[in-house]
Amino acid sequence: MNEWIRLLRPYQWVKNGFVFAGFLFVEGWHDPAMTLRVVVAAGAFALVASGVYILNDLGDRERDRRHLQKRLRPLAAGTISSAEAFSLMGVTLVGGLALGYWVSPRTFMLLSIYLILNALYTKWLKRIVILDVFVLASGFFLRILVGTLGVGIPPSKWLLLCGIMLALFLGFGKRQAELMELRSTGEVAREVLGQYGDKILESMLTTTSGAVLVTYALYTVDDATVAQHHTEALIYTVPIVAYGLFRYLYLLHHHEMGQDSSREIFTDGHLVGTLLVWLAAVLLILS
């Protein structure tokens, strides 16, 4: 049972927090029907994402067997057969898409786009420098759209832009961490790393981190945001976001973290504390 759970990678479901972004900022918890739709939408995305992880593991199992850490994955280690993995993938994908259709046809469409993009990524796009990160980032962006357009919440343009930049920031951070691992251990995580370098990744991380701060700050002072929440106080959460970004960059460069942000974000007390303080501050301001 543990191997089946590992194959689903439930720790990655933390990414579905992006589904709740729009819900948080429109104070959707006051509407029980909307709350149910958002929760089911997040569950649907979790199931489809797990199906995609199985698809990736099926495609990469031979390469994973030659990697020091990835060889322990269920498919690479042989603890679960390919036939069993295909069956589980079918269940998760059908279940996730069915739940998505229950939420709305638009949610079903967004989940289908996510599935198609990741299938193309597994087959071809993961070998194309820069585009590979954009495909990874699209997963976060689609989560935001599922939690807004998919459940009937009009998305803020600045919130969407902030989400895009944050997703790209995490994606390029992942490539930077993999490049550092390659140099220290010689373990090649993926072919495309040979086309990246420190200077280009540093430039992209600088650009995207700055863009995250600017777009989030502009969201907090946008006339539509102020009118909706009847407060300008959200701007006081900008330093919290800045600290979280800078802490992540510190861990990336000094502790070689960043390959798996879904798991690592909860291993650093500063990042966990920052996330909780930001969430508490937003809820306090909006209440």
Q: What is the pLDDT of residues 162-189, one digit of tens each?
A: 989 999 999 998 888 888 877 766 665 6
Taking alpha carbons only, the member of 161, 130, 286, 139 closest to residue 278 is 286
Dihedral, 136, 141, 249, 49 alpha carbons, nearest 10: -50
Tell me, yes or no, whether 195 and 259 share the same domain: yes
Residue 264 tokens read as 């690592």
Instruction: Choose one of 132, 155, 178: the last residue of a domain.
Output: 155
The whole-number pLDDT of residue 255 equals 66
**Separation of alpha carbons 32 and 281, rounded Å:** 23
Taking alpha carbons only, the member of 225, 177, 181, 221 closest to residue 201 is 177
Distances from the Cα of 187 to the Cα of 45, 190, 273, angstroms? 31, 9, 32
Q: For the chain, what percent of residues have pLDDT higher than 70?
A: 89
Tell me, yes or no, whether 59 and 176 share the same domain: no
Predicted confidence band of residue 191 (pLDDT cuts 50, 70, 90): confident
Who contacts 243 (Cβ-Cβ below 8 Å, separation ≥6)? Answer: 274
Q: 258 pLDDT exceeds 60?
A: no
Q: Between 198 and 211, where is the model more confident? A: 211
Tell me, yes or no, whether 252 and 198 share the same domain: yes
The whole-number pLDDT of residue 125 equals 85
Tell me, yes or no, whether 113 and 16 share the same domain: yes
Whole-model pTM: value is: 0.86
Instruction: Choose one of 125, 155, 185: the last residue of a domain.
Output: 155
Q: How many CB atoms lie within 10 A of CB 4?
A: 13
Q: Which residue has the tokens 């059908």?
A: 94
Tell me, yes or no, whether 131 and 161 share the same domain: no
| CATH number of 86's domain | 1.10.357.140
Out of 13-22, 174-183, 199-208, the most confident range is 199-208
Tell me, yes or no, whether 16 and 64 share the same domain: yes
Q: Where are the alpha helices (DSSP H) in the chain?
A: 2-8, 21-25, 32-64, 74-77, 82-103, 105-123, 131-146, 157-185, 198-221, 223-229, 238-254, 261-264, 269-286
Structural domain that includes position 61: 1-155
The whole-number pLDDT of residue 59 equals 73
Tell me, yes or no, whether 140 and 195 share the same domain: no
Domain count, the chain: 2
Burial annotation 164-178 (CB, 10 A radius, 16+ → b, else e): bbbbbbbbbbbbbbb
133-169 confidence digits (pLDDT tens)? 999 899 989 999 999 999 988 888 888 899 899 999 9
Angle at 281 between CA 42 and CA 16, to 5 degrees: 15
Tell me, yes or no, whether 39 and 90 share the same domain: yes
Q: 43 pLDDT exceeds 80?
A: yes
